[in-house]
Amino acid sequence: MTEEPSAQPLLQIALRVEQDIFVIRQRGREVAAVVGLEHQDQVRIATALSEVARDLLRTAGGADVSFHVDAGADGRFHLRADLAPVSPLPDDRYQPQSGAVSRLVDTLSVSTVEGVTVVRMSRRVPANAPMPTPERFAEFRTELGRTAPGSALDELTVQNGQLISALDEVRSQRDELAVLNEELAETNRGVLALYNQLTEELEETNRGVVALYAELDEKSAQLRAASESKSRFLANVSHELRAPVTAIIGLGRLLTDSASDPLTDEQGRQVDLIRSSAADLLNLVNELLDLAKAESGRIEPDVTEVDLRPLFGQLRGTLRALATRPEVELVVEELTGPALLRTDEVLLGQVLRNLLHNGLKFTERGEVRLRASQHGDRWQFEVSDTGPGIAPELHDRIFEEFYQIPGATRVGGTGLGLPYARRLVTLLGGSLELTSAAGEGSTFTVSLPTGGA
């Protein structure tokens, strides 16, 4: 809500001839000074007034100008100047000149009230200006009455003064700008130097990383070559050993054959020893050959749809012969319902046989059990035993080639079974893990994808 401290205008001036523009400008500045506008604002509103006045004189032949003070909705006072043209404006949509004028004041508008068009502008009075009470208004009027309007020359002189001070201000602003520009250029130079330094450091780091990668590539190529030559060596040696060992076994069998000349008891025992040692050797050679083949990637899994029930039946049959201890029970659990998965049946059979065989080898009493179950898109095979168990710190080591846990559990074998089993399971797209603790038995878990590798 706005409240008019005084309905009476502070001052009224008629604009009819060119000369009046100077008077309006001068009086406008005086009114602004009297109500408490700061110097800059006085010049601003005076300039806006003279511009609009010149415009109205040209387009409408003159106007009646009046000055008022309003209390605004923001609780502040505003100096308002109304310019009512003396004849209708040429165009209803008359706009007070350019935006440059409207920037000089807070509001500049053209409004038509009850058929009368008024160009209205206002500028806010600073908060620290004295309150414009009715008494103050009376004083304003007397003050304004005292100062008679000067001549156009006077006003021109004042305008000149104002122009000079405005020019001064522009000059000082330009100097400030030059200082700022210099500072900016300095900052830019700093940023550029920092950027160059960072770029250099980055390039240096990059060169280091590239060199490191080259070294790594070289090392891994060397490792690959070493591993390949190890596999090749194992394969060749095993292959070359197999023929003579097979020959020894064959010859041993011939010596003890009933068709051969009878041997003395001692000779018979020694030939048996030769045969069993040769059989052990053949076993080792065969395992080495298998492992070398698996490592060199020469085993191609033959993936087909496998029904686990006959495979389990087979395992039950072949391993029963190895379960020689009466205190140890071999349990291959029955599968309820169809148990199908896509995998290489021979390789899976080898892995499970190997794990079950280990269980039977190392378990003195209790049981060795194979259980299979499906979990989502994977099959899990658990081979558990009630044997001596394996301490956690050895869980990785027993999957190393030739590693056998020293001590009581060492009962023959080569130390190649588990690494081979893990290789095969990996080839089939699965994993082989161990859960065990010393004295608590062991559980080896094979997990395979149902859909094949």
By CB under 6 A, name the binding residues for ligand ADP. Answer: 358-359, 362, 385, 387-388, 390, 398, 403-405, 409, 413-418, 442
Min dist. Cβ of residue 399 to ligand ADP (A): 7
What single DSSP character describes residue 259?
Answer: T
Element spanning 29, H or E: helix 18-35
Q: How many CB atoms lie within 10 A of CB 6?
A: 17
Is 107 in contact with 120 (CB distance < 8 Å)?
yes
Question: Of the two residues 306 and 398, which places its CB atom closer to ligand ADP in the complex?
Answer: 398
What single DSSP character describes residue 89?
Answer: -
Is 418 in contact with 362 (CB distance < 8 Å)?
no
Q: What is the 3-state secondary structure (H, E, C) of 33-44?
A: HHHCCCHHHHHH
Question: Of the two residues 159 and 442, which places its CB atom closer to ligand ADP in the complex?
Answer: 442
Question: Of the two residues 274 and 284, which places its CB atom closer to ligand ADP in the complex?
Answer: 284
Min dist. Cβ of residue 380 to ligand ADP (A): 17
Min dist. Cβ of residue 393 to ligand ADP (A): 13
Question: Of the two residues 231 and 358, which places its CB atom closer to ligand ADP in the complex?
Answer: 358
**Angstrom distance (rounded) from CA 257 to CA 287:** 28
What single DSSP character describes residue 151?
Answer: -
Question: Of the two residues 304 and 431, which places its CB atom closer to ligand ADP in the complex?
Answer: 431
**Taking each helix axis from N to C terminus, what angle separates 345-362 and 417-427, rounded to the nearest 10 degrees?**
150
Min dist. Cβ of residue 286 to ligand ADP (A): 12
CA-to-CA separations, 449 to 214, 245, 373, 376, 379, in angstroms, rounded: 37, 39, 12, 9, 6
Identify the three-state secondary structure at position 446: strand
Min dist. Cβ of residue 337 to ligand ADP (A): 29
Question: Of the two residues 47 and 363, which places its CB atom closer to ligand ADP in the complex?
Answer: 363
Min dist. Cβ of residue 437 to ligand ADP (A): 11
**Total length of the chain:** 453
Closest CB to ligand ADP: residue number: 413
Is 13 in contact with 24 (CB distance < 8 Å)?
yes
